[in-house]
């Protein structure tokens, strides 16, 4: 199995690039956002709880996120591997992901981070908010708070994966195709 954590701040392009990686390398894409939206749409208890945090621009608590993602991994163990998009977001979640994958004799092979400047992120998210209907992309204040939370709580995972020799940074600015080529080059070295 090839298991990749696709990493970066909100608006870095993780979802877009994950779709290309999924097709190219025949991996299962597990997007935290998609899993949240599915649970929210189906009004599951975890979905209702997650929505209350998302509406405020806050991160969903670890255990809620871990429970949702663990279930998705268990449903998709016959593939060639996974792309985790938006998970893990902190050391607790990274350790939980290691545990979940170890039950399937697997591990995280690489964290690939899309690196994008903050002002570009804000513009991308507000533009997406104009058409997506997503409440967390509708206000500059909420968007900036999400980016701030990313740096204060999530960016520490860079050190976590660097210590394991599994961190790879990729420039996330430019034409989509060029970014895809940079990502593919990294994956081909794994």
- Residue 128 bears catalytic tag: yes
User: Which of 82, 63, 86 shows the shortest CA–CA distance to 74?
Assistant: 82
Catalytic residue among 134, 144, 158, 166: 134
Instruction: Give the integer Cα–Cα distance in Å for 114 and 180.
Output: 11
On whether the CB atoms of residues 170 and 114 are closer than 8 A, the answer is yes
- Residue 166 bears catalytic tag: no
Task: Identify the bridge partners of residue 85 per DSSP, sorted by sequence position.
Answer: 6, 31
Catalytic residue among 22, 38, 56, 128: 128
- Residue 124 bears catalytic tag: no
On whether the CB atoms of residues 20 and 13 are closer than 8 A, the answer is no
Catalytic residue among 146, 148, 166, 182: 146
User: Which of 62, 29, 28, 60 shows the shortest CA–CA distance to 47?
Assistant: 60
Q: Go through the chain and tell me how many residues it has.
A: 190
Asked, as a colleague might, if the bond just before 88 is cis with ω within 30 of 0, I would say yes
- Residue 56 bears catalytic tag: no
- Residue 146 bears catalytic tag: yes
Give 3-59 as a DSSP string: EEEEE-STTSSHHHHHHHHHHHHT-EEEEHHHHHHHHHHTT-HHHHHHHHHHTTTPP
Query: Which active-site residues does the annotation give?
Result: 14, 89, 128, 134, 146
């Amino acid at each position: 199995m090839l298991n990749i954590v696709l990493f970066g701040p909100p608006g870095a392009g993780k979802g877009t690039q994950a779709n290309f990686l999924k097709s190219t390398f025949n991996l299962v894409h597990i997007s935290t956002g998609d899993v949240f939206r599915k649970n929210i749409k189906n009004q599951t208890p975890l979905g209702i709880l997650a929505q209350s945090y998302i509406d405020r621009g806050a991160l969903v608590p670890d255990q809620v996120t871990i429970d949702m993602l663990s279930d998705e991994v268990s449903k998709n163990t016959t593939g060639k591997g996974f792309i985790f998009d938006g998970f893990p977001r902190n050391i607790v979640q990274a350790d939980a992901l290691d545990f979940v994958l170890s039950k399937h004799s697997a591990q995280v092979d690489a964290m690939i981070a899309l690196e994008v400047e903050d002002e570009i992120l804000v513009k991308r998210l507000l533009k997406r908010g104009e058409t997506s209907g997503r409440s967390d992309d509708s206000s500059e204040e909420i968007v900036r708070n999400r980016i701030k939370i990313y740096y204060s709580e999530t960016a520490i995972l860079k050190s976590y994966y660097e210590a394991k020799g599994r961190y790879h940074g990729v420039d996330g600015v430019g034409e989509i195709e060029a970014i895809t080529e940079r990502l593919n080059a990294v994956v081909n070295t794994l």
